[in-house]
Amino acid sequence: MKILPILSSILCTAWASPTPPEKPYTNPLLPGWNSDPSCVHAADHNDTTFCVTSTFIAFPGLPVYASQDLQTWKLASNAFNRPSQIPGLRETTNQQGGLYAATLRYRGGKFYVIVSFLGPSTRGLLFTSVDPFRSEAWSEPVEFDVVGIDPDLFWDDEDDGGDGKVYVTSADDQRIQQYSLDLETGETGPAVDLWNGTGGVSPEGPHVYKRDGWYYLLIAEGGTEVDHAVTMARSRKRTGPWEPCPHNPVLTNRDTTQYFQTVGHADLFQDGNGSWWAVALGTRSGPEWVTYPMGRETVMAPATWAEGEWPVIEPVRGQMQGPLPRKDSRSLQDRGEGPFIKRPDRLDFAPGSAIPAHLVYWRYPKVDHFAVSPAGHPHTLRLTPAFANLSGDASFQPDDGITLIARRQTDTLFTYTVDVDFSPTVVDEEAGITLFLTQRQHVDLGIVLLESARGELTPSLRLRAEGRGNYEGDIPTKTIELSREWLKKPIRLGIRAVSDETYEFFARSKGRSETVLGSVDAKVVSGNTGKFTGEWALLR
């Protein structure tokens, strides 16, 4: 199979650096499915900011992105990159389970990623690394008894009036709870209730910060849908009592007509110049919240946080401006494993190369089902069909594996093509491309062997969908029998987003004109079983 996808503390001292002038920028910051961001600035890593986002059951997972200008982001590594780190992913059937809402922190030269793994059971996992630009440098996780979801990591420093212990703050049972964690052994202390929020459903996504003698607790409320909001409380003591912020919610787009909705699940960080920023998740859906194939993306808003005061975060808009660092991420060019994430791809799987770090599988792959440039076929990726299709049938076990390798949709408008060299020999055998949200929701264009009306086995092109998401109309299935001419050469299969609401599926044999098989409404891959994930344009 030949594959050619073309895709498109504010320092109040005399030595404080001057704040750079305001510069315009656009959201999303990390386009495509990049929900639940958590970011940290590492001054002694060349003033680089790092963020981690959610990947649920995709593998590799927990991507760590790096930037120096807060605009150009590069995939530095994947904190979750080998099955030994989380054997239980093999048995995770829930399409919205797995790994989400991690917290990234940096301290004493070490990076920490703490997360709940929702697999056969719910476990807390803590990954560490001293080299965020290398996936392999991420540790095997220290496991701990997590209380619920969305763990945060906070050092209650003695020289800042604390008890010197490390605390995890997480969400369970409609409240935010906190307990100590031994970073070496994973031993946890008793959980205490911190805060229930201001009354919204699902208080979650907590982060704790200490400033000017106050413990600040930032949380998400309202559920990660159109009522999503960020609220805050503070206390002189780590365990409360908590005083809610008088201008809660500190960040939300609910009850607005904004394109960016569901804004919430925020984290705050301070860049090298002392400027504060909030990152959060947002969905480009408008208030209708019906068409959103890109899923939940990472957005950023400038913030100010005066001494002894509450932070003030600007509402999230598509076009914003703020004191962006005057650095240049180009110095990251040769660092890390993945690409600058807004660049188009042209992948040719050169002999001896690895599968690019930004491509993902659904759970663990059968490694030998994905061969880069096998003997006699340089510059190709050979996929071996799995027994099950992308949906899996009733007897499908997650560890049977589906042959799927995917790239995030990072642009609303794009063209994606793959040159497929495949001659099916068994009835129903199929290979092609897919627009994939979950195993229950995807639109597939494949080359498949079908029995014709005349009873003959005929190679055909077939467009069909599994699931319907938020779409209510008829979803057409289209089948075209392929003549011998088509089969002599690789067939180029493609998906084109003709608008942010419509995908067109097409095919072309070399020297022939393009055949459009049909258009599919983006609502098909919005909502329902993939409410919390986002779109992948894929090959399989």
Of 159, 307, 393, 474, the one binding ligand NAG by CB under 6 A: 393
Q: Which helix (H) or strand (E) holds 485?
A: helix 484-487
The answer to whether 76 and 53 have CB atoms below 8 angstroms apart is no
Matching residue, tokens 């042209």? 346
CB of 235 to ligand NAG, least distance (A): 14
Matching residue, tokens 């059968």? 366
Q: Which residues pair with 499 in a beta bridge?
A: 502
User: By rule CB under 6 A, what string of x and - marks binding of each residue 352-391 to ligand NAG?
Assistant: -------------------------------------x-x
CB of 392 to ligand NAG, least distance (A): 7
- What does DSSP assign to residue 10? -
Q: Is 235 in the site for ligand NAG (CB under 6 A)?
A: no
CB of 146 to ligand NAG, least distance (A): 18
Token representation of residue 271: 């860049």
Q: Is 512 in the site for ligand NAG (CB under 6 A)?
A: no
Q: Is 273 in the site for ligand NAG (CB under 6 A)?
A: yes
Q: Which is nearer to ligand NAG, 440 or 489 (CB)?
A: 440
Q: Is 254 in the site for ligand NAG (CB under 6 A)?
A: no
CB of 254 to ligand NAG, least distance (A): 22
Q: Which is nearer to ligand NAG, 415 or 441 (CB)?
A: 441
Of 272, 293, 311, 527, the one binding ligand NAG by CB under 6 A: 272
Of 9, 94, 239, 331, the one binding ligand NAG by CB under 6 A: 331
Strand pairing category for 502-509 and 515-521: antiparallel
Taking Cα atoms as reference points, which of 153, 157, 211 lies closest to residue 178? 153
- Closest residue to ligand NAG in the complex (CB): 272
Residue type, 332: L
Please give the full DSSP string across 423-442, using - where no structure is assigned: ---STT-EEEEEEEEETTEE
Taking Cα atoms as reference points, which of 359, 343, 289, 382 lies closest to residue 537? 359
Query: Which letter, b or e, does each residue of 82-108 get, where b requires 16 or more Cβ atoms within 10 Å of its Cβ?
Result: eeebbeebeebeebebbbbbbbbbbee
Stretch in the footprint of ligand NAG (CB under 6 A) among 144-152, 168-176, 229-237, 520-528: 168-176
Q: Which is nearer to ligand NAG, 185 or 331 (CB)?
A: 331
CB of 46 to ligand NAG, least distance (A): 4
Of 148, 325, 336, 494, the one binding ligand NAG by CB under 6 A: 325
Q: Which long-range contacts (CB under 8 A, 24 or more apart) does 374-377 make?
A: 377/2
Matching residue, tokens 């930004």? 358
Of 265, 327, 492, 540, the one binding ligand NAG by CB under 6 A: 327
Q: Which is nearer to ligand NAG, 265 or 327 (CB)?
A: 327
Q: Which is nearer to ligand NAG, 221 or 466 (CB)?
A: 466
Of 466, 471, 507, 535, the one binding ligand NAG by CB under 6 A: 466
CB of 512 to ligand NAG, least distance (A): 26
CB of 462 to ligand NAG, least distance (A): 9
The answer to whether 381 and 372 have CB atoms below 8 angstroms apart is yes
- The set of residues, in sequence order, having a beta carbon less than 8 Å from that of 173 and lying 6+ positions away, is 148
How far apart, in whole angstroms, are the C-alpha atoms of residue 66 and residue 488? 45
- Residues 170-199 contacting ligand NAG, CB under 6 A: 173-175, 196
Of 25, 26, 47, 180, the one binding ligand NAG by CB under 6 A: 47
In the chain, what's the furthest Cα-to-Cα distance? 86
Matching residue, tokens 């009873």? 455
Site size toward ligand NAG (CB under 6 A) is 21
The answer to whether 524 and 467 have CB atoms below 8 angstroms apart is yes
Token representation of residue 279: 């990152």
Q: Is 46 in the site for ligand NAG (CB under 6 A)?
A: yes
Query: Which letter, b or e, does each residue of 465-483 get, where b requires 16 or more Cβ atoms within 10 Å of its Cβ?
Result: bbbbbbbeeebeeeeeebe
User: By rule CB under 6 A, what string of x and - marks binding of each residue 12-41 to ligand NAG?
Assistant: -----xx-x---------------------
What residues make contact with ligand NAG under the rule CB under 6 A? 17-18, 20, 45-47, 173-175, 196, 272-273, 325-327, 331, 389, 391, 393, 464, 466
